[in-house]
Amino acid sequence: MYTLVYDGTFEGLLTAVFEIYDRKLFHVKLIKGEWLSSAMFEEVVQIITDENRATRVLRGLRKKLSSASIQRLYIAHMAEMENEESAIVGFIRYVFDSDINVEEDYGNKYVMRLSEILKMVRREKHRMEAFIRFQKLKDETFYAAVEPDFNVLPLLIRHFKNRYADQKWIIYDIKRKYGIHYNLHDTQYISLDFSEVNKHSDVISAYTEDETIYQHLWKNYFTSVNIAARKNTKLHLRHIPKRYWRHLTEKI
């Protein structure tokens, strides 16, 4: 068993695939970061990301997969699901080792797993589109904090850029410590320093004076449309899991 350690980038993953074929490795496990295990019968290979090698692998994939499948492959990796790198590499190897198009060969465990990953990522994306609550800051920027299970921020750009094209906004992933900033023209990735703003009261002080009024109206709206006789807690939790509540204005 070979353990390949890479830097977590898509280019690094493609470089790892190149190394697998170049070294003729069969039983491999791919992980990102630093591998500290000293397990017996296991050889560790540090993968150094090489843009040229990654490009060669990508070029080969484009010959065997549709552009939509290439995009899905990238999304599956970008989601940063724990311990799924080996499944993605398994899918790529299956593509290269097959003489036919395997995009819909759901009898293969790697094709099936990739499909399951994509479904989970898409579900999380749609939930973020529905659950994000912006709050207006004093500089007229609308700010929203999120903690998605998977790294879906890049998939949200088109939706929010189209929907809020006339407003400056920031969507910030607290868990992964980066965000997206839209300045009325373009979007860019940003990182914020919360070292001096680590209390809820400190963040509240950055809101505009009318933000509290709007939040109060929003909560009253949800209270007024609620029909107690039709309360179904189990169904409610299925559609809005508790892990999202801390960032929903109507739940605070």
Determine the pLDDT at residue 61: 97
The answer to whether the CB of 93 falls within 8 A of the CB of 20 is: yes
Give the length of the chain.
252
Are both 57 and 156 inside the same structural domain? Answer: no
Are both 109 and 6 inside the same structural domain? Answer: yes
Domain membership of residue 127 (yes or no) is no
Are both 112 and 136 inside the same structural domain? Answer: no
* Residue that terminates a domain, selected from 56, 89, 121: 121
Reported as a single tens digit per residue, the pLDDT across 7-62 is 999 999 999 999 999 999 988 989 887 655 555 556 888 899 999 999 999 999 99
User: Residue 195 — pLDDT band, cuts 50, 70, 90?
Assistant: low
What does the DSSP 8-state code read for residue 47? P
Cα(79)–Cα(118) distance, rounded to whole angstroms? Answer: 9
pLDDT of 90 strictly over 50: yes
Domain membership of residue 207 (yes or no) is yes
Average pLDDT on 239-246 reads: 63
E-strand spans in the chain? Answer: 2-6, 28-32, 43-46, 135-136, 142-146, 169-173, 178-182, 187-190
The answer to whether the CB of 92 falls within 8 A of the CB of 17 is: yes
Backbone angles phi, psi at 32, to 5 degrees: -110, 150
H/E element, 5: strand 2-6
Are both 86 and 142 inside the same structural domain? Answer: no
Reported as a single tens digit per residue, the pLDDT across 92-143 is 999 999 999 999 999 999 999 999 999 999 999 998 998 888 888 888 888 8
Domain membership of residue 221 (yes or no) is yes
pLDDT of 198 strictly over 90: no
The answer to whether the CB of 94 falls within 8 A of the CB of 211 is: no
Q: How many domains does the chain have?
A: 2
* Residue that terminates a domain, selected from 102, 121, 140: 121
**Least confidently predicted of 91-95, 96-100, 187-191, 242-246:** 242-246
- Domain of 57, in residue numbers: 2-121
Are both 149 and 113 inside the same structural domain? Answer: no
Q: Give the C-alpha distances (Å, rounded to integers) separating 146 from 142, 156, 198, 245.
A: 13, 12, 15, 10
Structure tokens at 15: 């470089």
